[in-house]
Amino acid sequence: MQRPPIYYRGDVPYAIGYVELPEGVRVETLFSTSDFEQLRIGLDVELVIERLHEDEEGNEVLTYKFRPVVR
């Protein structure tokens, strides 16, 4: 387990890793899941946009994440 960076204001615990896009580009990303055991290399994932936190003015701060594809 690793403590999040001081600037991170999202939910804890969280999962972070790399996703390889169809074009061959790899991006570091947060994963949207509460079941960390399902994450594994080669898993099919899809892009989602989710709330990360609220800023000092009460505005939602959004981020991209990937979640496992349910089949």
pLDDT tens, 18-62? 999 999 999 999 999 888 998 999 999 999 999 999 988 999 999
> What's the structural domain count of the chain?
1
Query: What pTM does this model have?
Result: 0.82
Q: Say if 9 falls within a structural domain.
A: no
The per-residue pLDDT for 64 is: 95
Q: Say if 21 falls within a structural domain.
A: yes
DSSP code per residue over 9-65 = -S-SS-EEEEEE-TTS-EEEEEE--S-GGG--TT--EEEEEEEEEE-TTS-EEEEEE
Q: Say if 3 falls within a structural domain.
A: no
Range of the domain at 63: 15-68
Residues 6 or more apart whose Cβ sits within 8 Å of residue 10: 4, 30, 52, 53, 63
Q: Say if 10 falls within a structural domain.
A: no
Rounded CA separation 42/56 (Å): 38
Q: Say if 6 falls within a structural domain.
A: no
Using the structure block, give the residue that is written with the tokens 């960390």.
Answer: 36
Q: Say if 55 falls within a structural domain.
A: yes
Task: Say which amino acid occupies 64.
Answer: Y
Q: Say if 64 falls within a structural domain.
A: yes
